[in-house]
Amino acid sequence: MRSFAAAALFGAVSATKMDSNDYKFMRYIVEHNKEYNTLEEYNMRKSNYEWMDKEIVRWNSSNGSSVHGHNWTSDLSRAEYEGMLGLKNQPKPKRANGEVFTGEGVAIPASNNWCSSGQYCNPVKNQGSCGSCWAFATTASMESAHAIFYSTLYSLSEQQLVSCSGSFGNGGCQGGWYYWAWDYAVTTPITTEAVYPYTSGSHGVTGRCTYTAGSGVMYDLSQTDVAANTTAILAAITNQPVAVAIEADTSYFQSYTSGVLNDGTACGTNIDHAVTAVGFGTDSVGGPYYIVRNSWGTSWGNQGYVWIGQGCGSLGCCGINQYVAFPTVKA
């Protein structure tokens, strides 16, 4: 309800004295077009924002290689934020063929970014309040694969996966796996977002399946796991974007705005969020990194992207080495 936010802003400005925290939060409300229904919600959101503000100061004072700041998630409760992390408590499925890509024979360039030209990636999408990150990692990897190998970039329907792939193990807004979503796409083609638009983000509800047979445009032929080492992952990304799983429940990740996340302790390795690695490069301060596409819109991170370091031990920074895979698609 916009009226309360406007009234709160007017009241604060009209007050005889407003401290710096009030002023900063008011600017946040305006910048991110926030709407609160009650005074109680306003106070709760302000408390969440102030906690994040302290975390941002802490990370920016740590002499790390990343920069942190506020974004549209700063006023969320921990439960709300963690609700967007749709891989929580989801074990990795065992693949029947057991094929693992090692990168042997692939010439790896110094840098690569499949999304820089707009030819192979759609604009960053926003999953909203639904724990459907797994569906967005699924579609992003399939969209790019089709654009690379068939020269047509579709925008696929995440809503179809959220609402219709439950029998394959996925839980809609309560979480899932890109592995299971790809399994669904082996037998049922994914339709376009224009035909089956995304609606779960606004209310966090999975919704019933309304997919129309015959409307699909893309199947998945198979999926291939990538060996959990930097060489194999870089080789895989050289060929096409890959789906990856990371730990994202930390304020270190939530408040990222630029630079490289390469503090293994701060980021953690207990995976809970699905994203897509679309490239790689080297930063003069943070060192080698993966370019990772998130599904929280362009007002999060660096225009919707995050650079995650290539180090941090065998599990990778934020656990990124553990569950790397890519689809093989067909029209």
pLDDT tens per residue across span 279-314: 999 999 999 999 999 999 999 999 999 999 999 999
8-17, 70-79, 191-200, 298-307: segment of lowest average pLDDT: 8-17
Look at residue 4 in the predicted model and tell me its pLDDT: 57
Q: What angle do CA 145, 83, 276 make, to 5 degrees?
A: 20
Q: State yes or no: is 33 an active-site residue.
A: no
Closest among 62, 76, 23, 43 to 248, alpha carbons compared: 76
Identify residue 171 by its one-letter amino acid code: G
Kindly give the pairing relationship between strand 305-309 and strand 256-261.
Answer: parallel
Q: What is the pLDDT of residues 204-217, one digit of tens each?
A: 999 999 999 999 99
pLDDT(1) > 80: no
Statement: residue 203 has pLDDT above 60: yes
Q: How confident is the model at residue 57 (pLDDT cuts 50, 70, 90)?
A: very high
Q: Which residue in 116, 126, 124 sits closest to 32, CA to CA?
A: 126
Q: What is the mean pLDDT of residues 246-252?
A: 97
pLDDT at 2: 44
Query: What's the chain look like in SS3?
Result: CHHHHHHHHHHHHHCCCCCHHHHHHHHHHHHCCCCCCCHHHHHHHHHHHHHHHHHHHHHHCCCCCEEECCCCCCCCCHHHHHCCCCCCCCCCCCCCCCCEECCCCCCCCCCEECCCCCCCCCCCCECCCCCCHHHHHHHHHHHHHHHHHHCCCCCECHHHHHHHCHHHCCCHHHCCCHHHHHHHHHHCCECECCCCCCCHHHCCCCCCCCCCCCCCCEEEEEEEEECCCHHHHHHHHHHCCEEEEECCCCHHHHCEEEEEECCHHHHCCCCCEEEEEEEEEEECCCEEEEEEECCECCCCCECCEEEEECCCCCCCHHHCCCCCEEEEEEC
pLDDT of 128 higher than 70: yes
Rounded average pLDDT over 260-267:
96
Q: Is the pLDDT of residue 150 over 60?
A: yes
Which of 273, 312, 318, 321 is the catalytic position?
273
Q: Is the pLDDT of residue 12 over 70?
A: no
Identify the active-site residue in 121, 130, 133, 164.
133
pLDDT at 55: 98
pLDDT of residue 15: 52
Confidence (pLDDT) at 152: 97
| Confidence at 277, pLDDT banded by 50, 70, 90 | very high
The angle subtended at Cα 194 by Cα 166 and Cα 275, nearest 5°, is 55
What is the pLDDT averaged over residues 316-327?
97
Judge whether 273 counts as a catalytic residue: yes
**Mean pLDDT (whole number) for 177-200:** 97
Instruction: State residue 21's pLDDT score.
Output: 81
Mean pLDDT, rounded, for 273-283? 98
Predicted confidence at residue 11, as pLDDT, reads 56
Average of per-residue pLDDT across 214-224: 95
Residue 117 has pLDDT above 70, yes or no: yes
Q: Which of 53, 43, 50, 45 is nearest to 76 (CA)?
A: 45
Catalytic residue status for 113: no
Tens digit of each residue's pLDDT (9 = 90 or more) over 168-179: 999 999 999 999
Mean pLDDT, rounded, of the chain: 93
pLDDT at 3 over 70: no
Exactly one of 294, 312, 317, 321 is catalytic; name it. Answer: 294
Q: What average pLDDT does the segment 316-326 reach?
A: 97
Residue 157 in contact with residue 196, Cβ under 8 Å?
A: yes
